[in-house]
Structure 1
Amino acid sequence: MPVEPQQSSARLSDDELRTLHAHWRAANYLSVGQIHLMANPLLTEPLRPEHVKPRLLGHWGTSPGLNLVYTHLNRVIRGRDLNALCVWGPGHGGPAVVANSWLEGSYTETYPDVTRDGPGMARLFRQFSFPGGIPSHVAPETPGSIHEGGELGYSLSHAYGAALDNPDLLVACVIGDGEAETGPLAASWHSNKLLDPVHDGAVLPILHLNGYKIANPTVLARIPEPELDELLRGYGHDPIHVTGDEPYAVHRAMAQAMDTALDRIAALQRAARVEGAGERPRWPVIVLRTPKGWTGPAHVDRLPVEGTWRAHQVPLSAVRDNPDHLRQLEAWLRSYRPEELFDAHGAPRLDVLACVPDGTRRLGATPHANGGLLLRELPLPGLDSYAVPVDKPGTTLHEPTRVLGQLLEDVMRSTAGRRDFRLVGPDETASNRLQAVYGASGKAWQAQTLQVDEHLDRHGRVMEILSEHTCQGWLEGYLLTGRHGLFSCYEAFVHIVDSMVNQHIKWLRVTRRLPWRASIASLNYLLTSHVWRQDHNGFSHQDPGFVDHILNKSPEAVRVYLPPDANTLLSVADHALRSRDYVNVIVAGKQPCFDWLSMDAARVHCARGAGIWDWAGTENGSREPDVVLACAGDVPTQEVLAAAQLLRRNLPELAVRVVNVVDIARLMPSEEHPHGMSDFAYDGLFTADRPVIFAYHGYPWLIHRLAYRRAGHGNLHVRGYKEIGTTTTPFDMVVRNDLDRYRLVMDVIDRVPGLAVRAAAVRQRMEDARLRHHDWIRVHGTDLPEVADWSWDG
């Protein structure tokens, strides 16, 4: 937003007050109409039961407050020529935001059949919460929205994500008082300690206290105002209060509050950008107290409604069947005096539109809420200069994520001028071996610094806070407004954002079907510090189940990759960072890992998604394999290759095929996932009738679930994590979960016909090795030398 205020904080004139009130009344009328009516939108005849929807779905309680905020945002955007976006946090504020979008014209521009007249108003009303229509909350279908209305807890982190690297943008964020009770919202208040007043935009939180959730009072509405002030000041904000239920008085107070807040924001930005101020700004927050269900029925069936929890959803629930309810609904609608707000054709009158901004300044038309319109290609360098040399598979080791960190450093550097790439994570950038990025950008930080601190940077684009919710919210807001990023996290703790990624995937699925929504950069996860290498943290840090969660979601939007070494990680990351409209999950290790494929081979293998490593097997193309050893993940890959080596030495006559899977969705049928294989291709790779021993990074039943329809599923035996963990040596983890090389050789002997007797001595040696391992680590505290010093020698 502009550094200098463009309008003084003068008192509203009577004419301004009248037009603001007209706009607010019109928005309220349209909100009530959407919830209740399917005909007679302008009340040109007495209301009859057949004019009312048979099923009343929607939420009235929060709508009048949201309409008030929208009206007053319109005023300041128009008066100050602001570039603004609003994140609507209350769970079911759909009627209000849709109503205002229709009033300003952005809804009709997006959906031309919903015209800004009587017939269009009828369509607007009928479609709301109606089969074939639109949801009851602020959804992807709503122009100007980047936040699904049911995502309670994430509005403020989304708002901050939108403001990052958008220095001319004001992001207002309406926070419902029910939402304010959630943990994610509570943590996201701390985002102001990382907001750069020079390069980032401003976030104006508007805490809307209407007193109630669905059936209970809200905490922040019931604590004393001085205590609430102390809380908000402790978060680093200066509160401005607006309280009341008399409309004209509230309008005047809200206008004054908005002007005061925006003047303070402009002064803080000027101090940082022009005067070089270095102290952390104390940003304003507006606390808006209005009655729940304001201007709605005061009583229904002799029970109080306005200002109580009964106003939360539909105050009049039996309109079609109860004549008293029908009369109350008509009186309620007529109390807004629609004949003063809409002309004979149903179009909004000029007074109603006096505060509405023009063009893309309208909240429903801002391109920042349709971020794909602003998205630029990410300048990704070629991979060859980062690739590790691989003259022979399995003889050198690198830390895959450290290699990736060098690439990310150059991505960060190449975007320094345009500032449209961020790396986020919960205090783990260096722990995850990505610290090379600090060579191009430090960690965003506006709070106190000490001499011992490292890599803190007031203008940094690496963002760390020990709240996975907040990291996810920042990145979602950043992507939805047209930028790029990566979320790095310990594998076990990414589950904290399960519900958030659910909503983002649903958002992507819906927006793919909306032609006016432009594609956005994918949400990319790098999950490391994974289940098999939690040597010092142990059981609490061992959980590979996020992949299972993701693969339950819309196949068109989710991708899961398990690169087995550094070069395949580079290839997969390059693909993910270039992609659009996906959630990409990459699981890769940070510990030293064998290098298996050259960069050229890695590209081909990752593009294929799953393939035979003929150099690792013994089938030699002369006959069908006796057994297939399959693997997915870095540690399972190493164990499979070690098992293949043992089989080559102990059972040289056995034809072994080694298959590595990078893209887990390749196991699914092509009818179920765009990356899935046909039955013909799957049988060609895994065979239709030979034993398949599959070593998998995560829970073994996922592989069974993905492949259950395949002809050879009965021959599939999967080893993976069985929820057996502790603090122990790396190899002991795989032994405890029966994923180790010796167990895999035993599985081959147990499942290949004829081997049980012929290879009994080999099986016994494998079992002896496991027992020797058990005794060795308890004496020496390290893995067996034959394991610790192992390398691939063909």
Structure 2
Amino acid sequence: MPGQLLVQPNPPADPSHLPDSVLDCRVRAGTASDITSTELASLDKFKRAVNYIAAAMIFLKDNVLLERKLTSDDIKPRLLGHWGTCPGLTLVYAHLNRIIKKTDLDALLVIGPGHGAPGILSCLWLEEALACFWPRYSRDRAGLTRLIAKFSTPGGFPSHINAETPGCIHEGGELGYALSVSFGAVMDNPYLVAVCVVGDGEAETGPTATAWHGFKYIDPVESGAVLPILHLNGFKISERTIFGCMDDKELIALFSGYGYQVCIVDDLPNIDKDLAGAMEWALGEISRIQHAARSKKPIVKPRWPMLILRTPKGWSCPKVLHGEFIEGSFRSHQVPLPEAKTSEEELQMLQDWLASYRPEELFTVHSTQGETEGAPISDVTGIIPVAREKRLGFRKEAYVAFQPLSVPDWMPFGIESGREASCMKTVGSFLSEVIKRNSTTFRIFSPDELVSNKLDAVFDVTARNFQWDVTSRAREGALLKFSPNTPVRAFIGIVHTMMVQYSKFVKMAHETEWRHDIGSVNFLETSTWARQEHNGFSHQNPSFIGALLDLKPKLARVYLPPDANCFLSTVAHCLGAKNYINLMVGSKQSTTVWLSPEEANRHCKSGASVWKFASTEEGVNPDAVLVGIGTEVTFEVIAAAALLRKLVPALRVRVVNVTDLMILGPPGSHPHALSDENFDSLFTPDRPVIVNYHSYPVEVKGLLYGRPNIERISIRGYQEEGTTTSPFDMMLCNEVSRYDVAAAAIRAGEFHNPKVTTVAHEMASYVTHLAKMDKKYICHEGRDPDGTFDTPVFEKK
């Protein structure tokens, strides 16, 4: 087997104390002894061709085959693109082609340096993936001219990899997530290897730092493997990288500590032999680990391979400009010759740079019989796998990966109305059935918060599968991935930007004809500021709702189910949805079940409804409309309605619950937005509306903008108040308590009901007094008054 593991299983903490023989785990030139001279020649021509195209994409708008001396008119007016990472990406792509062709490997390539698009697009053009998915980029002169001239211009490919890029599963507009995406891609794909190139600048990000541990959750029996390649070229956009300042001993100590077998590839004069040997060694190690596990003799704490590829930044571009290094420095990160259009010196340097790839040896400049003008010669494409489905740009996992779930009927899991139940505990029982029906396509990723989020009913049908934990490794069934994430609210902001990047990928995929449906990402928020338990002010942040409201309306869905039955209905709906970002906000604590399963089903389908049981005269001709949006704040609205019926019986109120937040926007603002007629039928055309909202009031204000007569609507919500205190005190602190709602309703109703006018001041003052008394009790006793959260009883008039 090419290459060998020379790193001790448990190296000393201080890398300087490690013997050189242990630390030197580089695969030396010649270890891939079976690499042929034909393969080496083909690798060389492939790399020269794709590097030429990548560089030309950044600079040229004409003369794309360099058939004459470059002039200023051949240069784009605006130079955009990132050259520095491209030579390393094309090197990896070339060698993946070789190993796939040689071994019939099923591989997916995930690119962390997203702005390396020129390098990847050039490879895709050579293997004809661009021509297949984008016929205008045919593998001939016309297609090549269009690819080069239109890159980073209106109507062409953008400067970063996105859903328009064949073979791509990762939005490259933000660094940090490629490695996590790779581990997700191989789960339940036992024969797939995701090769993930991580830039050394990207490797400094928090998401990547955590993702290095991802292999510890990969079961070698049922899942594929990830081969991380740290592309260490030493520089970011304007300075050295942290990893670029680390020597071999430090790098090996670090990644060995993570649990990897590390192989450093950096023999530049013999880089093809070095990398070929490293890849064969890595695939051999992957095969060894998987074979042992699948033979029921699993390796304890298997050490998966990783490669560190050390190449110069901007390799093969001009060495020096104006006395400063370009190749091997940060100056090659983007455009190495930024004044090529206006400077004769830089134009000549560009001419020499492009000519150094000898394009006349790589492309058919003038067509002859049986040849296509502008196409690559056969020696250039000789390294590309023959079978199209094996080529990196054609991998079906990249564009037909979505598998619909078999979602069971949720109604049998419903709770009788009038009882109390935890939304999450009820959902946990439902998810147990989902797991039984979808044992190889549905998994939960919630290794720590699962029990506290009260989803532990799933343990009745499955088990944890944490490979580095002696109590849970090598077990059938797994809590590893699950389309709904279940984060504590305070921590959900950590995945904010990941959610945004996924939404961008979904948007572009939806607009790309050849992309198939993409699974929705579903978020469950369960630990809310309203029931913060032991968490104080520092843990309260409902801003994730606002993050979704900023997305394209066709992508975002925000649901705030008011009880367990509504939550069941919503989860079942979201598990069957596709191409969306769904957020479901509820409570893991027991709360009143207001609606029967049948009522909840109708309520969730409509997105909102009048709750007649809590309204006076079933909500007909109200003086004020009370609206609850969210579990706990809706409880306060119901409690306020009961209090008003007792204290101010003349006040007519209509109680409305909104479970689908997006219905509030004006017509056309969102697919779920109510028409003005339906909006008025719920909230009346002209009566005061008091909204008690789970999150920041400004979010509802933004949604309502554009609705007529919105000045009649007042909104209460989270005000960044509260610490470790009682649940009801949190309501009081943020002015969303039943007393705040009741007082606002009295003051609003006095303008429409003379019977209320005469008692409005007295009753509103009394209600405010009740709030102060409860606040005093809480401060003195350290708990809420008895009966605070008992289901309200409505006295008949």
TM band (smaller chain): over 0.9
Aligned residue for 1:356? 384
Q: What is the rounded CA distance, in whole Å, between the counterparts of 2:790 and 2:572 in structure 1?
A: 32
**Secondary structure of the corresponding residue to residue 137 of structure 2:** coil
1:448 to 1:489, Cα distance in 2 relative to 1, 3 A = closer
| Contact 1:167 1:201 survives alignment (8 Å) | yes
Aligned residue for 2:412? 385
Q: What is the rounded CA distance, in whole Å, between the counterparts of 2:658 and 2:300 in structure 1?
A: 51
Q: Counterpart amino acid of 1:396?
A: R
Aligned residue for 1:305? 326
Deviations 1:552-602 (A, max 9, x none): 111110000000000000111111110110000000100011001111111
The alignment status of 1:461 with 2:458, answered yes or no, reads no
Q: Counterpart amino acid of 2:389?
A: T
| Contact 1:196 1:459 survives alignment (8 Å) | no
Deviations 1:624-663 (A, max 9, x none): 2110000101111111111111112222222211110001
- Report the alpha carbon displacement of residue 499 of structure 1 after superposing the two structures with TM: 1.2
Aligned residue for 2:398? 369
Q: Counterpart amino acid of 1:525?
A: F
Q: How does 1:217-616 map to 2 (within 5 A)?
A: 217-246=240-269, 249-344=270-365, 345-357=373-385, 358-370=387-399, 373-390=400-417, 395-416=418-439, 419-425=440-446, 427-449=448-470, 458-463=475-480, 485-616=483-614
Q: Counterpart amino acid of 2:394?
A: A
Aligned residue for 1:23? 46
Deviations 1:518-573 (A, max 9, x none): 01110000110111001211212221111011101111100000000000001111
| Contact 1:687 1:712 survives alignment (8 Å) | no
| Contact 2:88 2:311 survives alignment (8 Å) | yes
Q: What is the rounded CA distance, in whole Å, between the counterparts of 2:50 and 2:142 in structure 1?
A: 17
Deviations 1:397-435 (A, max 9, x none): 00010000011111112222xx11121236111110001
Q: Counterpart amino acid of 2:42?
A: T
Q: What is the rounded CA distance, in whole Å, between the counterparts of 2:725 and 2:401 in structure 1?
A: 49
1:305 to 1:230, Cα distance in 2 relative to 1, 3 A = same
| Contact 1:128 1:136 survives alignment (8 Å) | yes
**Secondary structure of the corresponding residue to residue 135 of structure 1:** coil
Percent sequence identity over aligned pairs: 42
Q: Counterpart amino acid of 1:383?
A: W
**Secondary structure of the corresponding residue to residue 729 of structure 2:** helix
Deviations 1:15-64 (A, max 9, x none): 11111111111110110111111111111222121111110000000000
| Contact 2:638 2:792 survives alignment (8 Å) | no
- Report the alpha carbon displacement of residue 459 of structure 1 after superposing the two structures with TM: 4.2
| Contact 2:566 2:604 survives alignment (8 Å) | yes
My pick for the range that moved more, 547-556 or 783-792, is 783-792
- Report the alpha carbon displacement of residue 620 of structure 1 after superposing the two structures with TM: 3.8
The alignment status of 1:637 with 2:666, answered yes or no, reads no
Q: What is the rounded CA distance, in whole Å, between the counterparts of 1:20 and 1:386 in structure 2?
A: 59
Alpha-carbon RMSD:
1.5
Aligned residue for 1:478? none
Aligned residue for 2:181? 158
- Report the alpha carbon displacement of residue 9 of structure 1 after superposing the two structures with TM: 4.5
| Contact 2:150 2:156 survives alignment (8 Å) | yes
Q: Counterpart amino acid of 1:772?
A: M
- Report the alpha carbon displacement of residue 347 of structure 1 after superposing the two structures with TM: 0.7
Q: What is the rounded CA distance, in whole Å, between the counterparts of 2:105 and 2:407 in structure 1?
A: 33
Q: What is the rounded CA distance, in whole Å, between the counterparts of 2:635 and 2:487 in structure 1?
A: 23
- Report the alpha carbon displacement of residue 110 of structure 1 after superposing the two structures with TM: 0.4
Q: Which of 696, 704, 707 is the aligned partner of 1:707?
A: 704
Q: Which of 88, 94, 101 is the aligned partner of 2:111?
A: 88
Q: Counterpart amino acid of 1:680?
A: E
My pick for the range that moved more, 562-571 or 528-537, is 528-537
Q: What is the rounded CA distance, in whole Å, between the counterparts of 2:655 and 2:224 in structure 1?
A: 53
Aligned residue for 1:695? 692
Q: Which of 724, 747, 750 is the aligned partner of 2:747?
A: 750
Q: What is the rounded CA distance, in whole Å, between the counterparts of 1:156 and 1:700 in structure 2?
A: 37
Deviations 1:467-504 (A, max 9, x none): xxxxxxxx6xxxxxxxx622111122111111111111
| Contact 1:426 1:489 survives alignment (8 Å) | no
Q: What is the rounded CA distance, in whole Å, between the counterparts of 2:505 and 2:789 in structure 1?
A: 46
Deviations 1:736-790 (A, max 9, x none): 1111111111111222215454233322331221122122223322211241434
Q: TM-score scaled to structure 1, two decimals? A: 0.93
Q: What is the rounded CA distance, in whole Å, between the counterparts of 1:723 and 1:91 in structure 2?
A: 37
1:494 to 1:29, Cα distance in 2 relative to 1, 3 A = same
**Secondary structure of the corresponding residue to residue 559 of structure 1:** strand
The alignment status of 1:652 with 2:649, answered yes or no, reads yes
Q: Which of 73, 87, 90 is the aligned partner of 1:64?
A: 87
Gaps of 5+ in 1: 1-7, 464-474, 476-483
Q: Counterpart amino acid of 1:240?
A: C
**Secondary structure of the corresponding residue to residue 290 of structure 2:** helix
Q: What is the rounded CA distance, in whole Å, between the counterparts of 1:269 and 1:762 in structure 2?
A: 73
| Contact 1:627 1:692 survives alignment (8 Å) | yes
Q: How does 1:141-156 map to 2 (within 5 A)?
A: 141-156=164-179
Q: Counterpart amino acid of 1:125?
A: I
Aligned residue for 1:681? 678
- Report the alpha carbon displacement of residue 328 of structure 1 after superposing the two structures with TM: 1.1
- Report the alpha carbon displacement of residue 375 of structure 1 after superposing the two structures with TM: 2.8
Aligned residue for 1:778? 779
Q: What is the rounded CA distance, in whole Å, between the counterparts of 1:534 and 1:281 in structure 2?
A: 40
- Report the alpha carbon displacement of residue 444 of structure 1 after superposing the two structures with TM: 2.1
Q: What is the rounded CA distance, in whole Å, between the counterparts of 1:275 and 1:409 in structure 2?
A: 27
Q: Counterpart amino acid of 2:375?
A: A
Q: What is the rounded CA distance, in whole Å, between the counterparts of 2:403 and 2:508 in structure 1?
A: 22
**Secondary structure of the corresponding residue to residue 613 of structure 2:** coil
| Contact 1:36 1:52 survives alignment (8 Å) | yes
Q: Counterpart amino acid of 1:435?
A: D
- Report the alpha carbon displacement of residue 294 of structure 1 after superposing the two structures with TM: 0.4
Aligned residue for 1:5? none
Aligned residue for 1:172? 195
| Contact 1:627 1:655 survives alignment (8 Å) | yes
Q: Counterpart amino acid of 2:403?
A: R
Deviations 1:78-120 (A, max 9, x none): 1110111011001411001111011001110000111101111
Q: Counterpart amino acid of 1:165?
A: D
- Report the alpha carbon displacement of residue 457 of structure 1 after superposing the two structures with TM: 5.7
Q: What is the rounded CA distance, in whole Å, between the counterparts of 1:532 and 1:294 in structure 2?
A: 56
**Secondary structure of the corresponding residue to residue 410 of structure 1:** helix
**Secondary structure of the corresponding residue to residue 197 of structure 2:** strand
| Contact 1:24 1:67 survives alignment (8 Å) | yes
Q: Counterpart amino acid of 2:768?
A: E
**Secondary structure of the corresponding residue to residue 272 of structure 1:** helix
Q: Which of 721, 724, 736 is the aligned partner of 1:724?
A: 721
- Report the alpha carbon displacement of residue 460 of structure 1 after superposing the two structures with TM: 4.0
**Secondary structure of the corresponding residue to residue 237 of structure 2:** coil
| Contact 2:171 2:504 survives alignment (8 Å) | no
Equivalent pairs, count: 753
My pick for the range that moved more, 107-116 or 704-713, is 704-713
| Contact 1:683 1:712 survives alignment (8 Å) | no
1:631 to 1:348, Cα distance in 2 relative to 1, 3 A = same
Deviations 1:332-361 (A, max 9, x none): 111111111111311111111111112111
| Contact 1:442 1:456 survives alignment (8 Å) | no
Aligned residue for 2:26? none
